[in-house]
Chain A
Amino acid sequence: MRLPLLSAILLGLCVSACAPADTDRVETVKTGTFRYPGDEAARPVELPEYWWPERRMRHHEATYTFPLHLDRTPNELWSVFLPRLSMNAAVWVNGHFVGDGGRLEPPLSRNANRPLYFPIPTGMLHAGDNVIRLRLVIEPTFPGLLDPFLVGPAAALRPTFENRYRFQVVALQGVAMTSVAVALLIFAVFARRDEQGANAWFATALVLWAVVLAAGFVRDPPIGGRAWEFLGPAAQAGLVYCLIRAFHLRIFGHRLAARERIALVVFGVPGIVTVLAPTQYAFTAWISWQVITGSAVVYVMILIFHTMKRGLITHPKTLAVAAFLGTIFVVHDLASVFYGRPISGFWLSAYAASVALLFSGWTILASLADSLTEAETLNRELEGRVRQKHRELESNYRKLRTLERERAIAAERERIMQDVHDGIGGQLVSTLALVESGRGEPDAVADSLHEALDDLRLIIDSLDPDEGDLAAVLGTMRLRVQPRLERGGIAIDWQVRDVPPIEGFGPEQALQVLRVVQESIANVLKHAGATRVRIRTGTVQGSLGDEAYVEVCDDGSGMSEQAPPGRGLANMRRRAENLGGALDIESTAAGTRIRLRMPLRVGAATAP
């Protein structure tokens, strides 16, 4: 809603510029006479006066003479203020030159869009009849024009002139420079990331708009009359074309080549006509060209409406108002063309278009700033979320580890319970039964309790070893078995050597090995009638790959006859299997050898 307010202020300025502040002392000059060069007689004239083309073809200048009656001699500085004329003029008061608007010979200084103001030196005007003479020069291709002008105290007219000058010249210079600046900014910003190119087309439109404006306000152009006049509508045609391209890309994501080619033809052909037109038709062609390109703005309006409908624009309401005002002003200016001068006193479309274009440019940059801010916010949020996720992961990992540890502890506890229950528990139960039966001899009870203790020791020993150290497990065991073997009169040949660490050899595996060895020794004690037992460890290349082995070897009478394979051996084989290994039993009359083999590496057993 800022735009309508801005427009109202601009219009207010325009009105205030139209009317001098101190009207009763200001004389409006309208009536006089004029002569073409070489004319004998003067002809009467009533301002405003418009030079139609056939007149421009015949005459390129005229001298106007206006009478000015003053009641008394001005005692302060007076001035003459010419709000609008075309193309240039020089002014004399009572035969004294007071000023001109620049070059009066081709190429003329262009004052079609700028007010002229000349102070009248004190003493030139006096009470009674005064004469104001004015020489007007025109371009044959451009309408000659002279509006009524004002003579009055400088104090009253100067502010009026200055307002009008600011409005007509300074403001548009500012807009032109701002347009270029915004365009450069857009170019710079989007050079790397404008995938569609829409913003580049829009920035080009802004530059062309600056050219359109410059064609209006530059007084002494670097190139001559007709070529310079061509520049304005050409830039306008280019501008509309760029806008069409920009909006096509913005709305559809790609160009609409067919429509754009039509636009090129529609805009280009009148341009060629304008260049080639004979002088008397040049202005008509020029105006027609502008009307055509100006009318194409209607298509741009439709496109703008599309973007609004699709929510592609950040401030649709403001743009809608700008477009609406723009349409009115354009219609106003187009209508004014046929009067030869603006109906309201000002060409307005420049302002509306400026506001609309600059607003759009600003919107593009603002949306960029917004998306940068958004990106930063997103980045921060993302960082926050990443940190959050990291924390969650860490916490999950900790929980998982705790769970794993708890599970491992639970599994181990379960295993120990099972071992205690199967081993010492069973032995204690049978001991108790022995005692309760009343038939338990003290020696038998003691033996039974010893067995229970041995099993308890076994379990404790199995919990102790270094991971994978078979020799250490057996070393601990020796202390337990030695006394019983000695009591049985059996000598120990201890041949335990270091073996490489066995993969996955923990308490459970240690207990299995210990039970196998204990069972073997128990067999030796019970059945073999041996005098010597050799306990040996080592490594061998066997059916399981690299193997570690434990061997219990006695010099007894062999087991096959006295003790056929029973529960004890079956248990031993089962334990060997649990270890992923194998149990070899060789029994002859010269002794028995039980060898437990285990693969050093897990999975080696699966190899053929």
Chain B
Amino acid sequence: MTARESTNPRYSVLLVEDDEPTRAHLARAIDAHPRLDLIAARGTVTEARDDLVAGKPDVLLTDLGLPDGNGIELIRFAREATPGSQIMVVTVFGDEKNVISSIEAGASGYLLKDGTSEAIGESVMQLMEGGSPMSAPIARRLLERFRSDATTDPLLGAEGDSEVMRARATLTARETEILRLIAKGFTFPEIASLLSISAHTVTSHVRHIYEKLEVNSRGEAVYEAVQRGLIRMDD
């Protein structure tokens, strides 16, 4: 078992959560996991920024509502300051909208505050091994999001001849199919067997969907900036 552990890398985790019992619960869960090292558990954006820059953690686990700022800002900051860090959002059930905003800001996963200790550790590990979680309600929302992107885009209009438009990512047929199955409640292994593909393929499809969402969100930001004259495309 020791030998096996040594072949597997260990990951450092920075936890940002302002609610103390939840912070303690999460900290315990991470601490308990054999392959996760908690480098700090913070309650504010300011402290977390310093730790991010100083510690360059492998994983940033952050809450969204923080006393001195928004977790989304912290996620953006982490994408710039420590591009190597994977980002996970700590959330409660029924908060899919914020999860999607976080993904758009650069998060690659989320975990539920009230999950069991094992579930929390496993979620982080899955993320580090290339998997991103995807619940049925989030899948349903993403399907809607990409569908409306494909038909009418309020920002780009009908012409869509700009570079931004060309850079715009749409879902492949397979990705759409997977999202539909997730929305109906099927698990990744079930989807793999239904589609006769490997579980790993399903995981990487989901990860791609995450990336596309972030790319589109950036594209929108760029387009908006161009429209407002903040950026010139020929620069």
A residues apposed to B, CB below 8 Å:
453, 457, 460-461, 464, 466, 471-472, 474-479, 482-483, 494, 496-498
Contact = CB atoms under 8 A, between A and B. Distances in A.
A479 B94 contact: no
7 contacts: A457-B93, A475-B136, A475-B139, A475-B182, A476-B140, A494-B187, A498-B184
A460 B185 contact: no
A interface majority secondary structure: helix
A474 B93 contact: no
B135 interface: yes
B190 interface: yes
B136 A478 contact: yes
Contacts, number: 54
Interface string B130-153: 000001110110000000000000
A460 B94 CA distance: 6
Contacts of B96: 464
B19 interface: no
Interface string B179-210: 00011111100100000000000000000000
B99 to A, nearest CB: 13
Contacts of A476: 135-137, 140, 185
B139 to A, nearest CB: 8
Given A460-B93, A497-B184, 5 more contacts: A460-B94, A472-B140, A472-B184, A479-B185, A483-B119
Contacts of B190: 494
B92 to A, nearest CB: 9
Q: How large is the interface on B (under 10, 10 to 19, 20 to 34, 35 or more residues)?
A: 10 to 19
B114 interface: yes
Nearest to B182: A475
A64 to B, nearest CB: 108
A464 B187 CA distance: 20
Nearest to B140: A472
Given A475-B136, A476-B136, A476-B137, A496 B94 contact: no
Contact of B184 (A453, A471, A483): A471
A466 B185 contact: no
Interface string B87-130: 00000011010000000000000000010100100000000000
B137 A464 contact: yes
Interface in B43-68: none
A478 B137 CA distance: 11
A488 to B, nearest CB: 15
A477 B94 contact: no
Contact of B186 (A460, A466, A494): A494
B212 to A, nearest CB: 21
Given A475-B136, A476-B136, A479-B136, A496 B93 contact: no
A482 B94 CA distance: 17
A477 B137 CA distance: 9
Contacts of B184: 471-472, 474-475, 496-498
B185 A496 contact: yes
Contact of A466 (B114, B140, B187): B140
**In the complex, the 3 A-B pairs of residues with the closest C-beta atoms, listed nearest first:** A475-B185, A475-B136, A478-B185
A475 B185 CA distance: 3
Given A466-B140, A494-B190, A472 B114 contact: no
Nearest to B194: A494
Contacts of B182: 475
Nearest to B92: A460
A474 B140 CA distance: 12
A479 B114 contact: no
B135 A479 contact: yes
Contacts of A497: 184
Contacts of B136: 472, 475-476, 478-479
Contacts of B119: 483
A479 B139 CA distance: 13
